[in-house]
């Protein structure tokens, strides 16, 4: 098969790695890719959000499948544009991708489909936000309506934090048009889990469960990030809980979108909070999560491309998707200063030695090739991922590899999967 993967992060490296593992003879391309994808695919110098150039490349090269990794090209309508020229693409159409592109739209869909979620109000000014916060009480969650690269959510536990979030969104305009409307949402207490599902317009087949770590520092301290690590499976997502999510979230959202004339095909990611009153949807994403993908795909025993084509062709119900029982964990190594400002171009050393640790696979995120070596080029640099027979052994392998990798300013959490370890105790 000839497959083009769109994106340049750890998620895309994991997707390319899985496709290569499934079919060593596949012709794989990645636009624009990173230093990791360059080793197992052909990188193409086209930006992930350059829809016309991607469509032009696809028309000339005629891939059997295009896999869209990030949310921006999905929300720009890349899948629709490829379909127009007869190229099969994995991911939702532009109308369906609004579930991630607009949190307000997602809330409207959830309300209509009676999907359990947090109470919220949409505000357009700083004063409106303060009024709603007074009504909801603190702690409270303040979210930009549009896409903000995973950084548009503030969990505010003090009045000062509320004012800082309001200033960031309304006065500093840190998220631009993405925060022209802002959601003030009630704070939910419980355990978070990520449940992703393959969807073909009718059928939803959940993937292995995962849990990620959003805060920068150990013990869930510090600022929110795009994700500092993940592990799979998530013990809190039991078979009974998964059945509830299937019946109360995936089925109703597919039906509600269909009633609006929108056929959802691709991955739907439900970020869940498991509260004492049952599961609640925190957010929908319309693509594989990052870094959840890095710990989910290594557990997938059946071919990824086959599942993707089954979604596109509407035959997911007959597709055999299998998972390894072995756990997997991913430790993100980030640049110094992330999620704020950080330097680029720092040489990364020790990758070869780290890759020799049993059960370890290193997924590149913010990396590039320069002067014959790998250098940093983003905030989240690497996802050091391991599998093993037990969670303890898996984490031992992952952190053993982390300690072999060096770059200036490297930071990472040392407590990935701490909730699962605590539950086992």
Q: What pLDDT does residue 152 have? A: 86
Q: Sorting pLDDT into bands at 50, 70 and 90, what band is 387?
A: very high
Report the alpha-carbon distance of residue 46 to residue 26 in Å, rounded. 21
What pLDDT score does 52 carry?
A: 98
Considering the domain architecture, whether residues 195 and 312 belong to the same structural domain is answered as yes
Q: CATH number, domain at 25? A: 3.40.50.20
CA 306 to chain centre: 21
One domain for residues 294 and 221: yes
Domain end (from 186, 212, 235): 186
Tell whether 230 is covered by a domain: yes
137, 255: one domain: no
Cis peptide bond upstream of 139, omega within 30: yes
* Same domain for 300 and 210: yes
Within this chain, do residues 198 and 312 fall inside the same structural domain, yes or no?
yes
Q: In the prediction, which pLDDT does 138 show?
A: 96
| Residue at 101 is within a domain | no
Domain check: are 268 and 212 in the same one?
A: yes
Residues 166 and 256 in one domain: no
Same domain membership, residue 357 and residue 300: no
Residue 130's CATH number: 3.30.1490.20
The answer to whether residue 104 is domain-embedded is no
**One domain, residues 85 and 16:** yes
Give the model's pLDDT for residue 121.
Answer: 96
pLDDT at 194: 87
Instruction: Tell me the per-residue pLDDT of 257-304, one tens digit each, with 9 for 90 and over.
Output: 999 999 999 999 999 999 998 899 999 999 999 999 999 999 999 999
Specify whether 169 is located in the same domain as 207.
no
Task: With respect to residue 137, please indicate whether it lies within any of the assigned structural domains.
Answer: yes
Q: Mean pLDDT lowest for which of 16-20, 66-70, 174-178, 403-407?
A: 174-178
Distance of alpha carbon 166 from alpha carbon 337, whole angstroms: 23
Q: Could you tell me the residue range of the domain that residue 367 belongs to?
A: 328-424
Tell me phi and psi for residue 150, to 5 degrees: 80, 5
pLDDT higher than 80, residue 425: no
CATH number of the domain that residue 256 is part of: 3.30.470.20
Q: Which of 167, 186, 205 is the last residue of a domain?
A: 186
pLDDT tens column, 342-386: 999 999 999 999 999 999 999 999 999 998 999 999 999 999 999
Residue 17 within a domain: yes
Domain annotation covers residue 62: yes
103 part of a folded domain: no
Is-contact 89 65, C-beta < 8 A? yes
- State the pLDDT confidence band at 83, using cuts at 50, 70 and 90: very high
Please state the domain count of the chain. 4
10 Å CB burial of residue 281 (0-12, 13-18, 19+) is buried
Residues 310 and 332 in one domain: no
CATH number of the domain enclosing 343? 3.90.600.10
Report DSSP state, residue 321: -
Please tell me whether residues 125 and 216 are part of one structural domain. Answer: no
Model pTM score: 0.94
Q: Name the token pair of 29.
A: 């391309």
Give which of 6, 7, 9, 25 is closest to 303, Cα–Cα. Answer: 25
Residue 287 has a pLDDT of: 96
Mean pLDDT of 129-148: 94
Residue 109 pLDDT greater than 80, yes or no: yes
pLDDT class for 151, splitting at 50, 70, 90? Answer: confident
Asked if the structure places residue 245 within a domain, the reply is yes
């Amino acid at each position: 098969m000839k497959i083009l993967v769109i994106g340049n992060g750890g998620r895309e490296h994991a997707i390319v790695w899985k496709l290569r593992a499934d079919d060593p003879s596949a012709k794989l391309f990645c636009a624009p890719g990173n230093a990791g994808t360059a080793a197992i695919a052909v990188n193409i110098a086209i930006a992930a959000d350059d829809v016309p150039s991607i469509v032009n490349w696809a028309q000339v090269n005629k891939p059997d499948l295009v896999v869209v990794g990030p949310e921006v090209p999905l929300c720009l309508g890349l899948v629709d544009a490829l379909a127009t020229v007869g190229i099969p693409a994995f991911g939702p159409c532009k109308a369906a991708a609004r579930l991630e592109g607009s949190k307000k739209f997602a809330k409207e869909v959830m309300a209509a489909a009676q999907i359990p979620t947090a109470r919220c109000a949409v505000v357009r000014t700083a004063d409106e936000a303060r009024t709603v916060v007074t009504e909801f009480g603190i702690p409270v969650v303040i979210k930009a309506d549009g896409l903000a690269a995973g950084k548009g959510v503030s969990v505010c536990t003090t009045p000062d934090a509320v004012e800082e979030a309001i200033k960031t969104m309304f006065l500093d305009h840190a998220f631009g048009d993405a925060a022209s409307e802002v959601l003030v949402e009630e704070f939910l207490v419980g355990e978070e889990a990520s449940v992703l599902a393959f969807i073909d317009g009718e059928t939803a087949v959940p993937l292995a469960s995962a849990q990620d770590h959003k805060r920068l520092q150990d013990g869930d301290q510090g600022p929110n990030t795009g994700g500092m690590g993940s592990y799979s499976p998530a013990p809190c997502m039991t078979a009974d809980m998964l059945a509830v999510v299937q019946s109360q979230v995936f089925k109703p959202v597919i039906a509600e979108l269909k009633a609006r004339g929108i056929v959802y095909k691709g991955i739907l990611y439900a970020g869940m909070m498991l509260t004492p009153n049952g599961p609640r949807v925190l957010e929908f994403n319309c693509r594989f999560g990052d870094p959840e993908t890095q710990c989910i795909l290594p557990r997938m025993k059946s071919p990824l491309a086959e599942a993707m084509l089954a979604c596109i062709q509407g035959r997911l119900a007959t597709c055999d998707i299998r998972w390894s029982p072995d756990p997997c964990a991913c430790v993100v190594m980030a640049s110094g200063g992330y999620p704020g400002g950080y330097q680029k171009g720092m040489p990364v050393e020790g990758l070869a030695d780290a890759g020799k640790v049993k059960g370890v696979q290193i997924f590149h995120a913010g990396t590039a090739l320069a002067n014959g070596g790998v250098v940093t080029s983003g905030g989240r640099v690497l996802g050091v991922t391991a599998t093993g027979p037990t969670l303890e052994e898996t984490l031992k392998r992952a952190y053993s590899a982390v300690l072999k990798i060096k770059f200036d300013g490297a930071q990472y959490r040392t407590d990935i999967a701490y909730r699962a370890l605590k539950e086992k105790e």
